[in-house]
């Protein structure tokens, strides 16, 4: 309502003088025509009525022109009309020009955009996520959430980015507003105080801005989930002290993942499988043990260095700061005589691997190229700062690439849309390599190298038949693995994790576990088995068959009672 009032006020304020000019010129013209005498067709004296004068002035001022009416004018009338033509046309064009300028007025356009945005937020009647800032990371998250039919609202200060978002044409529609997200009124406008608002995502480059947004969002809605980026340990600790339970540190993610790859390849395979990798480690992905040369010792370099130290693997580092390097060398290409000497001094010729971890992608690529010239068999690891350069890194045939934006997008999306999957990944880091090896072998044997994973909630909406049957009957988890074609055969299914209604977690639950309404399951299977499972949990006939091995026959009374 406030935005509508502001819009009306802007229109009235800008159009006040043009309206007055048009009214005055019309009034003078009409008054003159009613006063100046004319003659009718019989030569009798005649004075125009106000309606006739208004009608004539209307088509005269708009330059339409229908002729003299209701009778031919006298010379006195024509003289007055000549004056009125210039008077009213100038006033009319002045009004039109003001209207055109008003349409182009940025403030009015903004108020209209705010009004449309408010209406879209009001019309959202399902759970939604607020994303602060539109960039490569959040665009990837929005695309994935849209595929899940989850609603998203975006706020970004940059109007060009909002226009770029609108061109993406996401389905369902993503309401977006160009505004400063640090303004509490903007967040309220985006619906942060609504019960349907489930989470806020803040992944700005500036840690202090993310902290400010986290505090502001927590004050506006203490129950909301927050996904906040932090790239320093002190900042993460500060956020945890504020009660922010989920803090994303991409460098910590990389450190943990690299440590898994060094010490527990099967656990690494399981984590990477969650994010789209096949359930097998390729030959070029196997990390050799020995001396590493680490180029770039910023936050990324230190995170990888921590993983190497924890794994007991030696390394030498060259502290290359991309901004200082480019300023001193006046180039972003690594590989002159001085650079060669630094790599040789760091032991590149004896090293088994080189890690390029600077903030500049071109420097990282040229480090890899230079290292290969000095040691053609060296294992290469590179940091990629943006998804835009993905094609270049693939062409360079780097053995292992760590993409900051992709890692942030993966973990953010999983935390928001797949909570059981996120919990599974977290628990992986507490398991032994032997545990991971057994699970990988079991999944490969039962399902194959490329299983899918998904989550199922045992409730009326997602498992209609099963949720009703398990209220009165004891149904074990093994029942859901039976084929609806032949109940003696098993589907290609493995239950990775089960969560009870009270939050209790069961990793790799036993097959004799009793299913209860409200359970959530993380499942690995192939596509055909997933389709069968969907039928079983939602259809009384299929569920009864896998429970008893017999076909269920409903009476008419039973069928209506089930409905």
11 pLDDT more than 80: no
> Is the model more confident about 8 or about 252?
252
557 pLDDT more than 60: no
- What would the mean pLDDT of 140-167 be, rounded to a whole number? 93
Query: Taking Cα atoms as reference points, which of 102, 95, 107 lies closest to residue 6?
Result: 107
1 pLDDT more than 50: no
Q: Which residue has the tokens 């956020």?
A: 239
394 pLDDT more than 90: no
213 pLDDT band, cuts 50/70/90, is very high
- Which pLDDT value is given to residue 60? 86
555 pLDDT band, cuts 50/70/90, is low
- What would the mean pLDDT of 154-165 be, rounded to a whole number? 93
Helix axes of 265-274 and 419-428: crossing angle, nearest 10 degrees? 170
> Is the model more confident about 236 or about 475?
475
- Which pLDDT value is given to residue 550? 87
563 pLDDT more than 60: no
- What would the mean pLDDT of 53-82 be, rounded to a whole number? 86
pLDDT-above-90 percentage for the chain: 58
> Is the model more confident about 497 or about 399?
497
Of 77-86, 265-274, 432-441, minimum mean pLDDT range: 77-86
Mind listing the pLDDT tens digit for each residue in 496-554? 999 999 999 999 999 999 999 999 999 999 999 999 999 999 998 999 999 998 887 65
- Which pLDDT value is given to residue 65? 78
Mean pLDDT, rounded, of the chain: 89
225-246: burial string, b at 16+ Cβ within 10 Å, e else: bbbbbbbeeebbebbeeeebeb
430 pLDDT more than 80: yes
208 pLDDT band, cuts 50/70/90, is confident
- Which pLDDT value is given to residue 4? 54
- What would the mean pLDDT of 448-466 be, rounded to a whole number? 94
- Which pLDDT value is given to residue 520? 96
- What would the mean pLDDT of 191-196 be, rounded to a whole number? 92
Residue 462: strand, helix, or coil? coil
- What would the mean pLDDT of 207-221 be, rounded to a whole number? 90
104 pLDDT more than 80: no
68 pLDDT more than 90: no
Mind listing the pLDDT tens digit for each residue in 464-506? 999 999 988 899 999 999 999 999 999 999 999 999 999 999 9
H helix or E strand, kind and range, residue 495: strand 493-499
Per the CB < 8 A criterion, the answer to whether 429 and 267 are in contact is: yes
17 pLDDT more than 70: yes
The Cα–Cα gap between 533 and 478 comes to: 12
Query: What count of other Cβ atoms lies within 10 Å of the Cβ of residue 503?
Result: 7
- Which pLDDT value is given to residue 12? 67
Query: Taking Cα atoms as reference points, which of 426, 424, 366 lies closest to residue 392?
Result: 366
> Is the model more confident about 409 or about 105?
409
Q: What is the DSSP letter of 539?
A: -
pTM of the predicted protein model: 0.81
197 pLDDT band, cuts 50/70/90, is very high
- Which pLDDT value is given to residue 6? 60
Query: Taking Cα atoms as reference points, which of 500, 529, 502 lies closest to residue 513?
Result: 500
- Which pLDDT value is given to residue 523? 97
The Cα–Cα gap between 260 and 266 comes to: 8
Per the CB < 8 A criterion, the answer to whether 546 and 488 are in contact is: no
Q: Is 391 exposed, middle or buried (0-12, 13-18, 19+ CB in 10 A)?
A: exposed
Of 48-52, 57-61, 94-98, 444-448, minimum mean pLDDT range: 94-98
150 pLDDT more than 90: yes
CB hemisphere CA count around 401 (13 angstroms) = 20
5 pLDDT band, cuts 50/70/90, is low
- Which pLDDT value is given to residue 308? 96
């Amino acid at each position: 309502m406030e935005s509508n009032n502001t819009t009306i006020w802007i229109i009235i304020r800008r159009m006040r003088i043009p309206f007055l000019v048009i009214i005055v010129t019309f009034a003078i013209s009409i008054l003159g025509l009613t006063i100046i005498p004319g003659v009718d067709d019989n030569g009798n004296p005649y004075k125009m009525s106000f309606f006739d004068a208004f009608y004539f002035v209307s088509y005269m001022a708009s330059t339409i022109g229908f002729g003299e009416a209701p009778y031919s004018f006298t010379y006195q009338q024509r003289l007055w009309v000549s004056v009125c033509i210039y008077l009213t046309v100038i006033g009319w064009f002045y009004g039109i020009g003001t209207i055109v300028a008003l349409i182009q007025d940025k403030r009015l356009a903004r108020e209209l955009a705010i009004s449309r945005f408010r209406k879209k937020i009001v019309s959202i009647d399902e759970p939604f996520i607020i994303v602060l800032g539109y960039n490569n990371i959040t665009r990837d998250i929005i695309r994935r959430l849209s595929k899940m039919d989850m609603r998203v609202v975006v706020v970004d200060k940059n109007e060009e980015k909002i226009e770029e978002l609108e061109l993406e044409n996401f389905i369902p529609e993503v309401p977006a507003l160009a505004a400063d997200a640090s303004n509490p009124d903007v967040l309220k406008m985006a619906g942060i105080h609504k019960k349907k608002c489930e989470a806020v995502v803040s992944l700005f480059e500036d840690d202090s801005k993310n902290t400010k947004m986290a505090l502001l969002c927590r004050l506006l809605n203490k129950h909301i989930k927050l996904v906040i980026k932090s790239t320093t340990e002190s900042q993460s600790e500060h956020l945890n002290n504020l009660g922010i339970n989920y803090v994303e540190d991409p460098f910590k993610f990389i450190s943990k993942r690299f440590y898994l790859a060094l010490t527990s390849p099967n656990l690494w395979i399981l984590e990477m499988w969650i994010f789209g990798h096949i359930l097998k480690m390729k030959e070029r992905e196997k990390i050799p043990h020995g001396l590493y040369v680490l180029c770039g010792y910023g936050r990324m370099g230190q995170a990888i260095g921590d993983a190497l130290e924890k794994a007991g693997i030696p390394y030498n580092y060259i502290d290359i700061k991309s901004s200082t390097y480019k300023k001193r060398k006046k180039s972003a290409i690594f590989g002159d005589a001085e650079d060669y000497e630094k790599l040789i001094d760091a032991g590149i010729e004896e090293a088994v691997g080189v890690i390029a971890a600077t903030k500049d992608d071109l420097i990282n690529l040229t480090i890899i190229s230079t290292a290969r010239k000095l040691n053609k068999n060296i294992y290469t690891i590179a940091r990629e700062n943006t998804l835009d350069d993905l094609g270049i890194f693939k062409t360079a045939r780097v053995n292992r690439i760590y993409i900051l934006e992709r890692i942030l997008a993966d973990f953010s999306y999983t935390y928001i849309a797949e909570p059981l999957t996120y919990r599974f990944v977290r628990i992986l880091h507490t398991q032994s390599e032997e545990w991971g090896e057994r699970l990988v072998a079991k999944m490969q044997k039962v399902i194959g190298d490329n299983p899918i994973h998904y989550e199922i909630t045992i409730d009326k909406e997602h498992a209609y038949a099963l949720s009703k049957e398990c209220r009165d009957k004891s149904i074990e988890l093994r029942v859901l693995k039976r084929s609806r074609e032949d109940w003696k055969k098993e589907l290609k299914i493995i239950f990775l994790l089960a969560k009870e209604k009270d939050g209790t977690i069961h990793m790799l639950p036993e097959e004799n576990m009793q299913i209860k309404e409200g359970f959530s399951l993380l499942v690995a299977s192939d596509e055909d088995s997933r389709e069968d499972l969907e039928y079983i949990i939602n259809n009384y006939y299929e569920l009864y068959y896998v429970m008893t091995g017999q076909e269920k026959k409903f009476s008419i009374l039973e069928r209506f009672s089930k409905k």
